[in-house]
């Protein structure tokens, strides 16, 4: 039996899904302990020398939301509570399609400890975070987060 949906050898949606790297993360936020204003958390990954949102690949069979919270804890040292799901990012990583699902998440308790994967962490106001993010596509998530705080009509 031919494993493709049409029998003609092309890839169907299930095959494409298996080839896509699945990842998840959060746009982590808090109220500044000094000013009470909104701050978002960016992490620096020395392997890529970039600033991004806490995120990472899902483990086999792992629920995306559980993976997002796991990655936040591993990369920032903070526990978090999620709210709205934000837009997903789709891009090529090492020649393979990658999908990253994101959630807005409020940081609760925790302490950052630098490690091999993440060596620095910054809490920045949204406008400064937008400029610090390495990938332009990540800046769109600042606006998506801010929209979750606006009352809907």
Distance, in Å, from the CA atom of 24 to the CA atom of 99, rounded to the nearest integer, reads 8
Identify the sign of the CA torsion 86, 23, 25, 137: negative
| pTM of the shown model | 0.84
Of 31, 45, 126, 28, the residue nearest 83 (C-alpha): 28
Per CATH, domain 24-149 is 3.30.930.10? no
List, in order, residues 6 or more apart from 86 with CB less than 8 Å away. 27, 102, 103, 104, 141, 144, 145, 148
**Stretches in the chain below the pLDDT threshold 50:** 1-15, 153
pLDDT in tens, 19-33: 899 999 999 999 999
Query: What pLDDT is attached to residue 52?
Result: 98
- Is the separation of the CB atoms in 121 and 42 below 8 Å? yes
Q: Can you list the alpha helix ranges (DSSP code H) found in the chain?
A: 13-19, 64-76, 126-132, 136-149
| Coil, helix or strand at residue 66 | helix
Query: What pLDDT is attached to residue 13?
Result: 47
- Is the separation of the CB atoms in 53 and 44 below 8 Å? no
Identify the residue whose tokens are 């090529």: 92
Query: What pLDDT is attached to residue 150?
Result: 72
Domain boundaries in the chain?
A: 24-149
What would the two tokens of residue 23 be?
């990842």
């Amino acid at each position: 039996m031919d494993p493709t949906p049409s029998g003609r050898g092309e890839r169907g949606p299930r095959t494409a899904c298996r080839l896509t790297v699945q990842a998840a993360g959060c746009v982590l936020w808090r109220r500044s302990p000094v000013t009470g204003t909104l701050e978002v958390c960016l992490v620096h990954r020395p392997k890529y020398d970039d600033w991004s949102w806490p995120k990472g690949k899902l483990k086999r069979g792992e629920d995306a939301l559980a993976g997002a919270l796991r990655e936040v804890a591993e990369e920032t040292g903070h526990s978090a509570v999620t709210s709205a799901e934000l837009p997903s990012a789709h891009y090529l990583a090492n020649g393979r399609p990658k999908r990253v699902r994101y959630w807005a998440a409020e940081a609760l308790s925790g302490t950052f400890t630098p490690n091999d994967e993440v060596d620095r962490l910054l809490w920045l106001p949204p406008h400064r975070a937008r400029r610090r993010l390495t990938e332009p596509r990540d800046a769109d998530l600042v606006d998506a987060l801010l929209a979750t705080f606006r009352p809907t009509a």
